[in-house]
Structure 1
Amino acid sequence: MFQTLAHLRFLLKATNQHGVHSPFIYNYVTKCLYKKEKLHRNKGFNVILKSISYFNVKTAFTTNKELKKHVKNNINYTNTNVDFGYLNTPDLAVFNSINYHNNTMVFIHNIYKNKQTEQVWEQIKLLNKVTVTVDVFYGAAVFFRKEQAKEHFKIRL
């Protein structure tokens, strides 16, 4: 029931590429997220796989074996200076342990799994180091771009 209500709230506030004024996020949405190819049956994993390809990820942080199995690229898995991070659920301690750089993207799955995960997600969005988030309901992309103003986008897929 919580996820159904969360999805309805999401749909009321979400937009498509026309509601995005940031060139970086507009390109990410139109050239990556809205790309027609389907790489995985799970919508969240589909976003992850498209993003890894779009950002040409070389180093990644994840403990998820399924993700490692589906990623075809030659990626070095580490937790230092990562291009891409993956969290199965919002976890502030793990999120803060990731050694990111300006162009790092962290994808957090299951942000609306329950009230607690949504609350942790809200805390992550408020962190000073987080500048841009792209919430697609199934998960969210988090960016640390210093040259960008702090913004939070809700994008319908």
Structure 2
Amino acid sequence: MLHQIKSYLQFLWNSKNQHGVHSPFVFALVTQCFYDKQSKPEYAVLKNYRNTLLKNKNTIEVTDFGAGSRVFKSNTRAINQIAKNAGISSKRAQLLFRITQYFQPENILEIGTSLGLATVALSLGNPKATITTLEGCPETAKIAQQQFQKFQFTNIISEVTEFENFFNQEPATDNRQLIYFDGNHSQKATLHYFEQLLPTVTNETVWIFDDIHWSAEMEAAWEIIKTHPKVSVTIDTFQWGLVFFRAEQEKEHFTIRA
């Protein structure tokens, strides 16, 4: 926790809003998407989806393949507490919806479904997209699948699998215009997924890495990603790291309050 406080203070010191951005591409993204304050009808769906989980006091046995939890001391967890403490926040879900709506990716991959709070934001952002979401824990995935069915999200493909198994079966040329990485908050796993999925990128690809300041090793992974030759633009919003591979773009790194 102390590490995150120090990192956040440093982020605030270095961060800018739209007035400090001189890239037309990033300026448009920040002003038209990040800072879009208009109410959206989809926000009500996101709220209802979250509220049904917050009312669910049933417990499940969670299988955790990642870096563990700083909140839960046991793998037996109440669904409402997972939604409250481990799921994407309402503000971030709305931003993820806006990013998806802004770029309109047709093929989306989410690494780490949890209860599907982020998944439905991706789905609402482009209902015509195909969303493949991966979850290693069968019990957690089951709750998400029930929620998707209840709210009639028909463009979501839920895969219950360890991530490595999925990548080993996935064609390296299968392009995903947007990938949301939220499955394993360790440096080794993050960089491994990054390298495995690099062959799929195009000029329009958007990658979003969750919790880039979660630990010193996640920050180290983020710094390595930023310097990769294929990466042209990155945006650090503290919670997320956005990565772009635009060949025509000068290599730049932005720290933006979102």
TM-score under structure 1 length normalisation = 0.91
Q: Which residue of 1 aligns with 2:131?
A: 77
Q: Which residue of 2 aligns with 1:21?
A: 22
Highest RCO, 1 vs 2 (Cα 8 Å, sep ≥ 6): 1
Identical pairs, percent: 33
Residue 113 of structure 1 aligns to a residue whose secondary structure is coil
**C-alpha offsets along residues 99-136 of structure 1, whole Å, 9 cap, x if unaligned?**
11101110011000010100001110010000000111
Residue 5 of structure 1 aligns to a residue whose secondary structure is helix
Cα RMSD of the aligned pairs, angstroms, is: 1.8
Structure 1, unmatched stretches of 5+, are none
Q: Call closer, same or farther: CA 1:111–1:42 in 2, change over 3 Å.
A: farther
Residue 101 of structure 1 aligns to a residue whose secondary structure is coil
Q: Counterparts of 1:15-54 in structure 2 under 5 Å?
A: 15-37=16-38, 39=43, 41-54=89-102
Q: Which residue of 1 aligns with 2:5?
A: 4
CA shift at 1:37, angstroms?
4.5
Q: Which residue of 1 aligns with 2:246?
A: 145
Would the aligned equivalents of 1:44 and 1:139 in 2 still touch at CA under 8 Å? no
Supply the AA of the counterpart residue of 1:68.
T
Supply the AA of the counterpart residue of 1:92.
L
Structure 2, unmatched stretches of 5+, are 47-88, 133-169
CA shift at 1:69, angstroms?
3.1
Match of 1:68 among 119, 139, 144: 119
Give the whole-Å Cα distance in 1 for the aligned partners of 2:108 and 2:180: 8
**C-alpha offsets along residues 8-44 of structure 1, whole Å, 9 cap, x if unaligned?**
0000000111111110000000000001147464444
Supply the AA of the counterpart residue of 2:178.
F
- More helix by percentage: 2
Out of 78-87 and 113-122, give the one that drifted further.
78-87
CA shift at 1:45, angstroms?
3.3
